[in-house]
Structure 1
Amino acid sequence: MKAHGNFFDKVYEKLRIAKAEGKNVLDLSIGDPDLPPPEFATGLFINQMHKEHIYTYPQIYGENTFKETISDWAYRKHGVSVHPEYEVLPLLGVKEGIVHLALGTLGYGDVGAYATPSYPIYRQAIEMSKASSVIIETKPENGYLPDLESLCSNDLRSIKLLYLNYPNNPTGTVLMNLFANR
């Protein structure tokens, strides 16, 4: 386990070198687009920009109908009951949720951990909260699965927040029954 590191730093360096060598690179490393949207999509966007009703702030906690739909889906898909008003919070994106989870649960002196390779935002979120970050290295020989036994060691019992990103990007690994006997 390391205190710092980022798989994507290595990917970005390889991309930089390949582009400098004049190679045609299609960047699929982190999931953000590197190509412009198709013309029909930008046309729709431009048409919407001319409508006055879009120039207002959205409801900060989301539309009730949308939250009720999420609540119904959670029950149908997973058998989980969530209260649409008190237990559903629509986000602008996953990164926003990752950051706010750390900011809401961690502070100075706390420890957050994440498995790597993973998105850089996990480390960034932990550090934004003024907590210490710990990397849980995953390796090809164990199928990129985190070593949960290592989390039970005395020096890691202080972990307050653990991010596990599965199915893992960039490895594609899926957690199956990792917690079954715990």
Structure 2
Amino acid sequence: MPRLSSRFSAFPVYPLAHIPARKKALVAAGVDVIDLGAGDADLPPPAGAVAALQAAAEVPAMQRYGFGLGHVPFREAISGWMQTRFGHRVDPLTEVVPLLGSKEGLAHIAFAYLGAGDVAIIPDPAYQAYLGGALMSEATPYVYALRPRTEFLVDLDEIPADVLARTRVLYLNYPNNPTAAIAPRAYLEHVVRLCRERDILLVYDNAYSEMGFDGYVPPSIFEIDGARDVAIEFHSLSKTYNMTGWRCAWAVAKPEIAGALTKVKSFTDTGQYLGIQAAGVAAIESWGEFVPRNRAVFAQRRDAAVAAFRANGFSCESPAATMYLWIPLPEGIASADFCDRLREEQGVIAMPGSGFGAGGEGFFRISFIQDGPRIAEAARRAGVVLSAMLAAEPRSPGAHTS
């Protein structure tokens, strides 16, 4: 039997890996499953994107390799949107990198900037692509626990000086998955200043930039003075346009940084299907009309989710952004135990905080990706499990939520 590499052995179990099989088994057994696990809404994408993909399928030239260049109108649409949305002008040919979903780009950028002995600062809990990129690059991850005491922000002033001295990459994601936290402008200014002083690449995952509520408008990192020197920002069609399975996204950075990611990708893929990039153009062109309507649906679902979980014994904040509630559990209840019981006993799929990293223990995440009545029923079932676990003795070990 061939021996696995030490690099591979360092990978944790991916938090969603076993969920699809268990969901399929539960459905086959006749269970009424309510899936609030993945951030994968039950809403349709823009009709124009579907029509553009259908039309592209009939065009012979669209069936060829896209390579790194891809569909130039897609690059141009991205450039125009970045200018309209954030006031940040980018060159479509040298400062935009089309991606097969932002996940691969977030991991691949590490290959250009990290190696043995280097440090990548990784929020914990976090999207596992950050950790994956660092581990595959044989760098040393420095995991920083996101907790309520820092408002779920990475406080760089708490990181030891010797770690900062070896840090080459900092991953940040605000609005944040899974905690739904947002970052104040003063915080982002401090981060950019420190990254410039220490020559650290700031990898800014902005997948939820169009999911702000109650008047909150998430910024681009490029709205911060000096960010262009050190940052690369990632965007995706997945959440903004309900196009998760299409795997279409992009990164934006100055030519030197964008070019580094492009070079890495030239060894790992030959580009997104051109027809999907054409659909991406149509999606972006629908932004002004589609996104406000879509966001209003999520705002209604957020309000329904907050009310329902509070009514069933949970304490949770109303998030200013994202499609998630990050819900604390009582001390002594482990998040994996709670979510396992919720799934197996009540047919509700939620994500344990520990699945996103040890720093997430004491919380679980639900995605408000179904309508209000289904969310209310999921919350009712979650309350049944919570009550049973609180009544049981002895209680399973868990972490305090402070």
Q: Which of the residues 72, 82, 91 maps onto 1:64?
A: 72
C-alpha contact (below 8 Å) 1:6/1:117 kept by paired residues: no
Superposed counterparts of 1:144-155, under 5 Å: 144-151=152-159, 153-155=161-163
TM-score by length of 1: 0.72
Residues 135 and 28 (structure 1), Cα distance of their counterparts in 2 relative to 1, 3 Å cut:
farther
- Map of 1:75 onto structure 2: 83
> CA RMSD, aligned part only?
3.8
Shift of residue 82, structure 1, vs aligned partner? 1.4
Superposed counterparts of 1:125-140, under 5 Å: 125-140=133-148
- Map of 1:179 onto structure 2: 188
- Map of 2:104 onto structure 1: 96
Distance in 2 between the 1:7 and 1:180 partners?
Answer: 34
Of Structure 1 and Structure 2, which has the larger fraction of its residues in helix? Answer: 2
Shift of residue 103, structure 1, vs aligned partner? 1.1
Give the paired residue count.
171
Of Structure 1 and Structure 2, which has the larger fraction of its residues in strand? Answer: 2
Shift of residue 28, structure 1, vs aligned partner? 3.6
Distance in 1 between the 2:125 and 2:12 partners?
Answer: 7
C-alpha contact (below 8 Å) 2:119/2:163 kept by paired residues: no
Partner of 1:76, secondary structure, is: helix
In structure 1, the gaps of 5 or more residues are 38-43
Distance in 2 between the 1:106 and 1:98 partners?
Answer: 13
Distance in 2 between the 1:25 and 1:121 partners?
Answer: 28
Shift of residue 52, structure 1, vs aligned partner? 7.0
Residues 108 and 143 (structure 1), Cα distance of their counterparts in 2 relative to 1, 3 Å cut:
same
C-alpha contact (below 8 Å) 2:118/2:139 kept by paired residues: yes
> Residues 120-145 of structure 1, C-alpha deviation per residue, up to 9 Å, x if partnerless?
11111111111111111111232211
In structure 2, the gaps of 5 or more residues are 1-9, 45-50, 194-402
Aligned letter for 1:159? T
Distance in 1 between the 2:173 and 2:119 partners?
Answer: 18
Distance in 2 between the 1:32 and 1:6 partners?
Answer: 23
Aligned letter for 2:144? I
Shift of residue 174, structure 1, vs aligned partner? 0.6
> Residues 23-53 of structure 1, C-alpha deviation per residue, up to 9 Å, x if partnerless?
75534444357x8x9xxxxxx9xx7898473
Shift of residue 79, structure 1, vs aligned partner? 2.2
Aligned letter for 1:114? I
Q: Which of the residues 156, 159, 165 maps onto 2:164?
A: 156
Partner of 1:90, secondary structure, is: strand
- Map of 1:121 onto structure 2: 129
Aligned letter for 2:164? L
Distance in 2 between the 1:146 and 1:119 partners?
Answer: 14
Aligned letter for 1:156? L
C-alpha contact (below 8 Å) 1:71/1:81 kept by paired residues: yes
Distance in 2 between the 1:174 and 1:27 partners?
Answer: 25
C-alpha contact (below 8 Å) 1:106/1:131 kept by paired residues: yes
